[in-house]
């Protein structure tokens, strides 16, 4: 196998990088052991939710101060200009079956499954309706499903009443499904079943109906409209615990432009070793016990923080032998290249939460470093 760019990892960082390099007409292959934390996450994209122990209300305005206090944080290396461009491209290029709302100027506070409000700057439209601001003087009915264990409507309603002075009640629908994915698939194809059940409850007098985030996978906006038209009430989804349908929607959203640009995504491939030289990179991966060798001009490591499998890296130039963990490296220089003993690997770039064990990382970090690492890899290949 021979490509311009090999990307290891298919979360937010790897897929944003893959979209960017494939748009630059570089042949791109993505390999990954599986879905990472992006698919498990709430799917809401934080730039800066908290800083110095306090909630941030204006993330872009606070970013400058944050970068001054954290000179080694990935945001500081990316820089404000590229962060803005990465977020702008996210809004422009990923608008197909799920739309995101919000912006970098202001954090919205969204209802969590614990009945608290979490600051975030971009969220799926169906979740963005449940802001603290919208719910302030409203009466809310929180609906759940009897066997869905990661969503407790009684807890959410009680917290809304006791902590936030929002009038709230709850109901539980008697369904047998226990997994969010079962409900999401049911709603994707038979939303009328749940609408019919809900219409038997008295919804008059409520301004909002809060549901767990299971309103379909690719048809969510339509399903929300179907509920609203049939029930005559505004409907939103709360945020989620894993396993997360909004995280799955985000994962699929990120894959779409890659597929359109001809990027192959191979799951079940575990990279174990990269050998790099002036001629390029040779990556050894294991698939189903078989060894695969991939030649590429550059590699972008986007192996995440939570489910990272170790990869050893050997270079003719920087050092002989191998090392076991990316964390042994100083991680990156200002061009997102992997650094060892003060020297940069010319053709190995790093992105996403793989960049840091200790620093705060969220989807905003993976989005902006995925973007920036690809920009640097493209520049390197054009200069070569």
Query: For ligand FAD, which is the closer residue by CB, 12 or 223?
Result: 12
Q: Is 350 in the site for ligand FAD (CB under 6 A)?
A: no
29, containing H or E segment: strand 28-32
Residue of 112, 303, 318, 368 interacting with ligand FAD (CB under 6 A): 303
Q: Compute the least distance from the CB of residue 229 to ligand FAD, in Å.
A: 30
Residue with tokens 């191998």: 322
* Contact residue for ligand FAD among 41, 296, 315, 368 (CB under 6 A): 41
Measured distance CA(314)–CA(326) in Å, rounded: 12
SS3 per residue for 327-364: HHCCEECCCCEEEECCEEEEEEEECHHHHCCCCCCCHH
Residues of span 104-133 touching ligand FAD by CB under 6 A: none
Sign of CA dihedral 309, 314, 315, 319: positive
Examine residue 40 and tell whether it contacts ligand FAD (CB under 6 A): yes
- Kindly state the DSSP code that residue 326 receives in the 8-state scheme: G
Using the CB atoms, write b or e for 94-123: b if 16+ within 10 Å: beebbebebbbeebbbbbbbebbbbbbbbb
The pair of structure tokens assigned to 298 is: 């550059």
Q: Which stretch binds ligand FAD (CB under 6 A): 66-74, 145-153, 258-266, 361-369?
A: 361-369
CA gap 25, 63 in Å, rounded: 33
Binding to ligand FAD by residue 32, rule CB under 6 A?
yes
- Count of residues near ligand FAD by CB under 6 A: 41
- Beta carbon of residue 211, minimum distance to ligand FAD (angstroms, whole number): 18
- Taking each helix axis from N to C terminus, what angle separates 80-93 and 59-69, rounded to the nearest 10 degrees? 140
Task: Tell me if 313 contacts ligand FAD by CB under 6 A.
Answer: no
* Candidate segments 10-18, 98-106, 107-115, 199-207, binder of ligand FAD by CB under 6 A: 10-18
**Which positions from 203 through 242 interact with ligand FAD, judged by CB under 6 A?**
242
Question: Which lies closer to ligand FAD via its Cβ, residue 227 or residue 236?
Answer: 236
Q: Whats the size of the chain, residue-wise?
A: 384
- Binding part of the chain for ligand FAD, among 30-38, 67-75, 143-151, 195-203 by CB under 6 A, reads 30-38
Residue from 21, 44, 112, 347 in contact with ligand FAD (CB under 6 A): 44
The least CB distance from residue 309 to ligand FAD, in Å, is 3
309 binds ligand FAD, rule: CB under 6 A = yes
Site for ligand FAD contains 10 (CB under 6 A)? yes
The 3-state DSSP class for residue 249 equals helix
Give, in order, the Cα–Cα distances in Å from 378 to each of 134, 235, 276, 382, 384. Answer: 43, 43, 17, 6, 10
DSSP label at residue 5: E
Q: Is 362 in the site for ligand FAD (CB under 6 A)?
A: yes
Question: CA torsion angle for 177, 183, 186, 189 (degrees, to 10)?
Answer: 180
CB of 301 to ligand FAD, least distance (A): 8
Out of 220, 283, 315, 366, the residue judged to bind ligand FAD by CB under 6 A: 366
- Contact in structure between 56 and 48 (CB atoms under 8 Å): yes
Residues that bind ligand FAD (CB under 6 A): 8-14, 31-38, 40-42, 44-46, 242, 269-271, 302-304, 306-309, 311, 352-354, 361-364, 366
């Amino acid at each position: 196998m021979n490509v311009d760019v090999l990307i290891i990892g298919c979360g937010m960082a790897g897929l944003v990088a893959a979209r960017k390099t494939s748009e630059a007409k570089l042949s791109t292959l993505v390999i990954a052991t599986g879905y990472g934390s992006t698919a498990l996450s709430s799917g809401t994209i934080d730039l800066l939710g908290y800083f110095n122990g306090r909630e941030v209300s204006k993330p872009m305005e606070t970013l400058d101060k944050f970068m001054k206090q954290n000179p080694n944080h990935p945001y500081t290396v990316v820089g404000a200009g590229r962060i803005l461009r990465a977020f702008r491209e996210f809004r422009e290029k990923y608008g197909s079956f799920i739309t995101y709302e919000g912006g970098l100027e202001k954090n919205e506070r969204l209802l969590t499954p614990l009945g608290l409000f979490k600051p975030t700057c971009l969220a799926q439209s169906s979740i963005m309706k449940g802001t603290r601001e919208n719910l302030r003087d409203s009466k809310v009915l929180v609906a759940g499903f009897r066997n869905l264990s990661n969503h407790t409507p009684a807890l959410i309603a009680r917290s809304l009443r006791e902590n936030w002075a929002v009038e709230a009640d709850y109901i539980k629908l008697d369904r047998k499904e226990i997994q969010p994915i079962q409900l999401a698939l049911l709603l994707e194809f038979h939303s009328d079943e749940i609408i019919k059940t809900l219409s038997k409850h008295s919804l008059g007098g409520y301004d909002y109906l809060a549901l767990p985030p299971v309103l379909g996978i690719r048809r969510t906006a339509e399903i929300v409209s179907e509920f609203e038209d049939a029930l005559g009430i505004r409907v939103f989804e709360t945020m989620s615990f894993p396993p997360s349908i909004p995280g799955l929607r985000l994962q699929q959203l990120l894959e779409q432009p890659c597929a359109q640009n001809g990027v192959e995504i191979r799951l079940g491939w575990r990279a174990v070793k990269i050998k790099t030289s002036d001629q390029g990179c040779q990556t050894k991966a294991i698939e189903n016990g078989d060894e695969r060798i991939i030649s590429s001009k550059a590699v972008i490591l986007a192996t995440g923080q939570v489910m990272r499998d170790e990869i050893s890296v050997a270079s003719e130039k920087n050092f002989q032998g191998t090392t076991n963990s990316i964390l042994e490296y100083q991680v990156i220089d200002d061009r997102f290249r992997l650094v060892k003993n003060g020297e940069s690997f010319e053709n190995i770039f790093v992105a996403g939460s793989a960049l840091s064990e200790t620093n705060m990382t969220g989807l905003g970090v993976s989005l902006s470093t995925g973007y920036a690492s690809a920009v640097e890899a493209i520049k390197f290949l054009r200069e070569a």
